[in-house]
Amino acid sequence: MEKTLNRIHPVSDPEATYFLQVSWEKDLGTGFGLLLSDCQCAWTGTVSEADISREAADIEMDRGKYVEELRKALIAREGSAGKYNFVIS
């Protein structure tokens, strides 16, 4: 299992700091787990392969491109930082 942990500052509350952990087995396209924490509380969730396919279809985006955008947004790498905004609600 692979995991990443990133610090995020949501646009909904720029002074707040959250930590986002994403974990997956093969690749994000087969589904993944999320853990979000503000160091006082933590929230977890899972996204299935079917969820990913449904969301890509809902926004009429090629599934492969959608998975690539998820990767860029959730697994911050060089070049993708600052391109995506997070809103905590």
- The arithmetic mean of pLDDT across residues 13-37, rounded, is 94
Q: Which region among 9-13, 23-27, 72-76 has the lowest average model confidence (pLDDT)? A: 72-76
Torsion over CA: 53, 21, 3, 25 (sign) = negative
In whole angstroms, give the CA distance from residue 50 to residue 14: 32
Arch. (CATH architecture) of 2-75: Beta Complex (2.170)
**Model pTM score:** 0.84
Torsion over CA: 88, 66, 76, 25 (sign) = positive
Query: Tell me: the pLDDT tens digits for 26-50?
Result: 889 999 999 999 999 999 999 999 9
